[in-house]
């Protein structure tokens, strides 16, 4: 089973024990996925989560896509440093065979060298989150691994004081 677990930096990690048994491709209704992700999160009163989609559904592995959204939205919540944290999830059609999922926040942003290394396993920065915890360095590496399992790619745009925008391109 370990050989089928996601690989991050040459190591195997489990997302959920036995995820391969119940993780299958299927039609994912994006509005329902949004509600499921929202139900799994504790969203503080000072955080606003917006969801917009010009696509109703996508054929993908719904377990993996929900995990990607959970990780990225959770990071935006954890590291948001404004009086009101804004997180925007947008799903757009890009040509007939691709969709783009963007997760954007108004958090503190990152330095250019951090952006270049953020998807490396066990990469952490000294910043603690709003709850006083330091990250483990596997969350964004896991996200990249899952996006690649879905046949897609991910990129990050960020600058200090400008928040982060993760763009995920997935086959439709």
Positions of the chain with pLDDT lower than 50, given as ranges:
1-9, 12-14, 16, 19
Q: What is the mean pLDDT of the chain?
A: 85
Can you give the pLDDT at residue 126? 62
Can you give the pLDDT at residue 8? 46
Which tokens sit at 151? 């046949």
Can you give the pLDDT at residue 156? 97
Would you say the C-alpha torsion 129, 114, 102, 81 has a positive or negative sign? positive
Q: Which residues contact 103 (CB under 8 A, 6 or more apart)?
A: 69, 72, 73, 76, 87, 88, 89, 165, 166, 168
- For 154, how many CA atoms within 13 A lie in the half-sphere containing its CB? 27
- pLDDT tens-digit readout, 106-156: 999 999 989 989 999 888 776 777 777 887 888 899 999 999 999 999 999
Can you give the pLDDT at residue 93? 92
């Amino acid at each position: 089973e370990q050989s089928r677990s996601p690989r991050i930096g040459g190591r195997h990690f489990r997302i959920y024990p036995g995820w391969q048994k119940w993780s299958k491709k299927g039609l994912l209704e994006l509005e329902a996925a949004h509600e499921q992700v929202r139900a799994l999160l504790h969203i503080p009163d000072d955080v606003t989560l917006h969801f917009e989609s010009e696509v109703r559904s996508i054929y993908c592995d719904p377990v993996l896509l929900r995990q990607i959204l959970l990780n990225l939205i959770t990071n935006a919540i954890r590291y948001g440093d404004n009086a009101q944290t804004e997180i925007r999830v947008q799903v757009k059609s890009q040509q007939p065979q691709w969709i783009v999922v963007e997760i954007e926040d108004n958090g503190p942003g990152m330095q250019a060298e951090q952006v270049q290394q953020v998807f490396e396993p066990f990469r952490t920065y000294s910043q603690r989150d709003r709850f006083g915890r330091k990250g483990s360095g596997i969350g964004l590496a896991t996200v990249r691994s899952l996006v690649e399992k879905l046949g897609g790619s991910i990129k990050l745009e960020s600058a200090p004081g400008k928040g982060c925008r993760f763009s995920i391109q997935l086959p439709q």
